[in-house]
Amino acid sequence: MPEKESSNKYFLALQDFYSAQRHAAVDEVVSRLTGAPSEMLQYEDIRRRFRVMESSERVLKDIPLDAIVGSVSRQNDFTRKLHPLNPTSKERWAKVKTLVETMEGLPPIEVYQVGETYFIIDGHHRASVARELGYTNIEAYVRPVSIRVPIKPDDDLEDLILKSEYADFLSKTGLDETYPQAELLGTLPEAYPFLLEQIALHQHLVNQKGRHHLDFKEAAQDWYENVYFPVIKIIRNRNLMRKFSDRTEIDLYYWIMDYQFRREQELGWELNPRDAVENLTFYYSRTLGDRLARLKKKILNLLIPEPLEPPLPPGFWRQNRRTPEETKQSLFDTILVTLPEWDQTWKAMLVAIFLAKNDHAVINGLTIIKDDVPILSPQLQPIRERFQKICQKAGVEGKLAMEHGKVTRVIYERSFWVDLTIVPLNHPAPLDILHRLRSGTRTLIRRSASPVLFVPSDAPNEIHSILVAYGGGRLSDEALYMAAYLCIRFTMDLTIISIGKNNEESHQYIQRAKKYLESIQFSDVTYLEKTGDPSQNILSTSEEIKCDAILMGGYESGIFKELLFGSTVDQVLNKTNRLVMICR
């Protein structure tokens, strides 16, 4: 080639270098706007973080330029798109481009292959020139590198930190080998140290029981099957990934465990993951419907006085807390029982023990104390000791929490975490309108997230016979559903009473109840059709049949009608000495 022509080509190549440098500046701007990575990765970081195994094999093949993400030694001299950054390399870059234009193609570069990505060992300027010339592929000698986790071309430093934590997790647990189909890659680097700690704790607890000694990888397998995967099944059964579409199952597991731990510290109870799932979903789901529901709740809390706030929809407590399959197994996993400081009888606790023993439930006790009494005060220790002694004697798992605050508000907020709330009936809702509006009992009936079982001071300690007051409404249906469950599960006697405006209406209600019970093949029922005053009929019948508990729906009528004209529920609560369960 004539010297002048060569000089011209070199000059043009220098101009192309400056143009490529301007592209490098554009890369940086685009990166800041879009979040896409623009910097080359350092191979040494990858080797150290992921404990890679390099192969001596060397294969010649075409590789995509877009898959080159890093360098062994010159990561600061080029962008991720291979545009030059270092002005001191302009002469070499221009010489390479000039040589390329006088030859047929480029000599092969040399790279490490890590997953789907490549790291340049030698040939940085050739790759950069190829990019500037519009090539999509380049010939390279490829050295495969074995790595446990996938690395992709669009991964940035944060992605690599995450994947290095993931690689460390897999190295220590071996779960990718034991469960090759398991989806264990998340988006939260902090999740993996947490999971390793949880596995270590699980290992300690299992080994402490003395059944057999597990090493860490064996403990990881046991943790996966008995701790981790049951929660994943809840996530899948509830279709939660739809509400957290930008996350993975292991992200949700970590969030659920973290949220459960924080709420346990606040509540003073031990919770199960299912409880945390529902609360986490409501408060943190990013779907439009859940966001609007949270906004609506905040607005209502600001504008509407607590006694007038709308109730939750009928059946919320069971539909929101469990799947139909879970409902078939048990209705009561957790029972809240309130134990006032001044109550020496603890009758509510005895009723809770009866139900918990028969349904294998956990009892979450609650004592609401005066604001001037510290939660750790020695004067409260006898209450704690008495609670634990009763639970241990009955063989029931339980934990007592102490809290300051307004009684109704505290019970209501905790009702979301349980399947049944048991409360001593010390102050039924007054029958006059002025006092009824301020009644904590009335507010609890209207707003509780779970059924409420009221315990009068002279009520039975156990339930062997039930009277259902059935009026055909949606809340009455919940009472019927609950009664059927209790009678089948506990082998109780069941009587259903309907009180209509006339005989025809009473008969219609009874037929509706009978149809439901026959559909679940439950026929050992006594049916009573009545007319007249509902509360008087319920009270007199409860005396005649000597039932232990009355089951009713809550306030079926609108709030203002109930306030003005009273309610059958309030009449019964004021006059009965039976247990009364108000179903939601």
- pLDDT digit string, tens, across residues 380-406: 999 999 999 999 999 999 999 999 999
How far is CA 44 from each of CA 38, 50, 85, 152, rounded to the nearest angstrom?
18, 10, 20, 17
pLDDT score at 327? 61
pLDDT > 90 in the chain, percent: 48
Average pLDDT over residues 93-103: 79
Please list, in sequence order, all residues whose beta carbon lies within 8 angstroms of the beta carbon of residue 501, skipping any fewer than 6 positions away.
Answer: 531
Q: Are strands 525-531 and 452-455 parallel, antiparallel or unpaired?
A: unpaired
441/426 Cα distance (integer angstroms): 9
Burial class (CB in 10 A: 0-12, 13-18, 19+), 252: buried
pLDDT score at 300? 54
Q: What is the pTM of this model?
A: 0.74
Tokens representing residue 81 in the block: 């798109």
Identify the helix (H) or strand (E) that includes residue 365: strand 362-369
Q: Where are the alpha helices (DSSP H) in 367-473?
A: 381-394, 407-414, 433-437, 440-447
Tokens representing residue 488 in the block: 């089948």
Question: What domains does the chain contain, in order, with CATH numbers?
Answer: 3-154 (3.90.1530.10), 158-292 (no CATH), 304-583 (3.40.50.12370)
pLDDT tens for 113-150 read: 998 899 999 999 999 999 888 899 999 999 999 888 87
Q: Are 289 and 247 in contact (CB under 8 A)?
A: no
**Taking the alpha carbons of 118, 124, 130, 134 in that order, is the dihedral positive or negative?**
positive
What is the average pLDDT value for the chain, to the nearest integer?
Answer: 86
How far is CA 447 from each of CA 212, 269, 313, 316, 450, rounded to the nearest angstrom?
49, 22, 10, 11, 9
pLDDT tens for 426-482 read: 888 777 766 666 788 888 988 899 999 999 999 999 999 999 999 988 899 999 999
Please list, in sequence order, all residues whose beta carbon lies within 8 angstroms of the beta carbon of residue 398, skipping any fewer than 6 positions away.
Answer: 356, 362, 363, 364, 365, 387, 388, 391
567/562 Cα distance (integer angstroms): 6
Average pLDDT over residues 543-572: 79
pLDDT tens for 28-53 read: 777 777 767 788 888 888 888 887 78
- Per-residue confidence at 194, pLDDT binned at 50, 70, 90? very high
171/173 Cα distance (integer angstroms): 6
Nearest to 166 by CA among 248, 273, 223: 248
What is the number of other CB atoms lying within 10 angstroms of the CB of residue 178?
14
pLDDT score at 541? 97
**Taking the alpha carbons of 221, 227, 230, 234 in that order, is the dihedral positive or negative?**
negative
